[in-house]
Chain A
Amino acid sequence: MEKKHGGIGLMIYAIAYLTFLYVPVLFLPLFSFNDSLFVAFPLKGFTTKWYAQMFEDEAMHRAFWNTLRVGFAAALASTALALPAAKALTLNRMRGGNVLIGFANIPLFVPEIVLGISLLILMTAAKVPLSLISVTVGHTLFCIPFALAVLMSRFEGFDRSLEEASLDLGESGWMTFWRVTFPIVFPGVVASLLLTFLVSFDDFMVAFFLCGTDTTLPVFIWGELRFPFKLPGVLALGAAILIGSCILVAFAEWVRRLGTTGSGPASFGHA
């Protein structure tokens, strides 16, 4: 009996939690279909014209394209940098590894505005012109902790003797990486690429400080908010990004888990 009461309590808590988390977000798609310039109840009627308007906006297209390019570059760079680090920290049990993980995670805890300003100062001092390149550098920096977390979880449980077996069968360390290590952690690499792409795609603060005149999508949206008549279009854009992000995250999580059960070499017990 008590157990059942606990179950109901937990259920109420879960529903309240999810409502609090998602209802505000759901206003975005809701108003994006509302046939009115003003974001207010009651709803006036159903329309898709805001979406049509959004797709016709040249500046939006440029910003979207910029965001994609930065996202791809930052995802590739951060994943490529995190891959050897993740391997060293898990498989090779590098000395002082925990300290290094701590340092690598610092960008997660530094307020983004501080990160943005400090990167701006650095870029200015180094005379790097503010452009998509400076944004990519900034994004790579704070995507690394995400890439590291995803890749390290994939390396956990990786049987070291697989690499030893490859060396034993005559392969070099480099070929062992490409023939054994990389294919086995590949789902983690894909998950890391997707996640870091998304982190870069969604970032406003760092891009705001570093993009100069090459606006990315979040910076473009921020600019659009100055014009009240453009608000519904921004809502439509926001809703589209929201749905795209959800699909990408779900896909990344699915890929990350691929092959982590059942195909392991040591699915029987041994010390």
Chain B
Amino acid sequence: MAIDNFLSIQGVSKRFGGTLAVNNVSLDIARGEFFSLLGPSGCGKTTLMRMIGGFAMPDSGIVAIDGADVTALPPNARPTNMVFQSYAIFPHLNIADNIGYGLRKLKLSAAEREKRIAASLAMIKLEGFGQRRANELSGGERQRVALARALIMQPKVLLLDEPLGALDKRLREAMQIELRELQRRLGITFVFVTHDQDEALSMSDRVGVMSKGKLLQVDKPKALYERPGSREVASFIGTMNFFEGRVLEAAADSLTIETKEISRVAAKPNGARAFAVGDRVLVAIRPEKLSVSSTPASVNSVQGRLHAVSYLGDHHLLQIIVDGIREPFIVLAPSDGKGLDENAMPDSAVWVSWPADGAIILPAA
């Protein structure tokens, strides 16, 4: 996908006191894209979004929307609108006046204003709620009012600051689907800030992973999961088993890695990254790529001790301790008994194995 730079962030930094909250971030977001900024709290994702909305001024760098430099513009002069984490529904106004708050500037006729508010209420399925107050609404309803109040302004970019964080799990999942569907229908560019990786992966066209003020990786959800570019990204997105090694042989389509604890590991280079003999690398394997059996497999097998088994319905989550490796291997095994001996007891010896293309090879940090 060719990325056009509808929303363009170039070399943006922001310092708060002694800490660099956002460290030289450059990012291009396409028109109509659902883009998520993902990272743990304090990683700078909210600060970056506030700089797009005009609530914070970057110390350096440029923010441009649809070809226009907006870096120095205040929020009320930008073609952006925001859904706040607290929703920020005005408590002294009813729902209709909340939604119509920004329309005053447009100098509409009373009838046109009413029409737009009614259409907006219909969009969020809250017809007839116009005269109510915010405190008469549930969390999910308030969230939709905040969304409608921002969307009625027809922004070029909609900013959403952890908008689903305060909702319970079931409602959150329903709202994820609703939001995604709404975004597709309206075609508005969404910038969605979240610390919830499932949310980011399931909703977004692309995800930017942030940590300590830096934008680590920008990719499609599938690519982010299957080809993380660094240990930080790999461990933040999903569960990952890691061990270190050194490249022993490097060919065009195969790598042999020597590790202290496991003899030789056969792997395939993934992505565009090239490794040379002698490079120190990190082998990363997803739990579902590992299989467990009572006999060694032909390739990439290591013996360990079964430490714990958790039943998860369609899967078993196994913890297997391999001598010399600090963290136990986490294995997700199907519950149909394939691979795992039904009678396997804790502390019994098992073999963990994975195919050559099952591991992700990362440069050791």
Contact = CB atoms under 8 A, between A and B. Distances in A.
Interface in B101-144: 101-102, 104-105, 133-135, 139
B102 A169 contact: yes
B82 to A, nearest CB: 5
Give the residue among A259, A265, A266 with the most B Cβ atoms within 10 A: A265
13 contacts: A164-B55, A167-B54, A168-B81, A168-B82, A169-B101, A170-B153, A180-B92, A184-B92, A263-B91, A264-B135, A265-B87, A265-B91, A270-B86
B149 interface: yes
B292 interface: no
A213 interface: no
Given A161-B86, A168-B150, A170-B153, 4 more contacts: A161-B88, A166-B101, A184-B91, A265-B89
B105 A171 contact: yes
Contact of A264 (B55, B91, B139, B166): B91
Interface of A: 159, 161-162, 164-172, 179-180, 183-184, 259, 262-271
Nearest to A183: B92
Interface in B230-260: none
A259 B53 CA distance: 30
Contact of A170 (B41, B76, B85, B134): B76
Interface in B61-110: 74-76, 80-82, 84-92, 101-102, 104-105
Contacts of A169: 76, 81, 101-102, 149-150, 153
A266 B53 contact: no
Nearest to A259: B91
B153 A180 contact: no
Contacts of B90: 162, 165-166, 180, 184, 265
Contacts of A179: 101
B165 interface: yes
B86 A266 contact: yes
A265 B88 contact: yes
Contacts of A165: 82, 84, 88, 90, 149
B35 to A, nearest CB: 19
Nearest to A171: B76
A164 B102 CA distance: 12
Contacts of B88: 159, 161-162, 164-165, 265
Interface in B22-59: 41, 53-55
A170 B84 contact: no
A267 B166 contact: no
A184 B88 CA distance: 13
Nearest to A269: B166
Nearest first, the 7 closest Cβ-Cβ pairs linking A and B are A169-B102, A165-B88, A161-B88, A263-B91, A167-B75, A161-B84, A183-B92
Contacts of B74: 167
A156 to B, nearest CB: 15
Contacts of B153: 169-170
Contacts of A159: 86, 88
A266 B92 CA distance: 13
Contacts of A180: 90, 92
A172 B84 contact: no
A270 B165 contact: yes
A169 B55 CA distance: 12
Give the residue among A168, A170, A264, A269 with the most B Cβ atoms within 10 A: A168
Contacts of A259: 91-92
A265 B134 contact: yes
A113 to B, nearest CB: 44
A184 B92 CA distance: 6
B139 A268 contact: yes
Contacts of A265: 86-91, 134
B105 A168 contact: no
B332 to A, nearest CB: 31
A165 B81 CA distance: 9
A161 B149 contact: no
Contacts of B76: 167-172
A79 B117 CA distance: 37
Give the residue among B55, B86, B104 with the most A Cβ atoms within 10 A: B86
A149 to B, nearest CB: 23
Contacts of A183: 92
Given A268-B139, A270-B166, A161 B85 contact: yes
B56 to A, nearest CB: 11
Given A170-B105, A172-B76, A262 B166 contact: no
Contacts of A270: 85-86, 165-166
B122 to A, nearest CB: 20
Interface string B140-156: 00000000011001000
B83 to A, nearest CB: 9
Contacts of B87: 265
Nearest to A164: B55
A168 B91 contact: no
A93 to B, nearest CB: 13
B191 to A, nearest CB: 14
Contacts of B41: 271
Interface in B297-355: none
Contacts of B149: 165, 169
B313 to A, nearest CB: 30
Nearest to B133: A263
B158 to A, nearest CB: 11
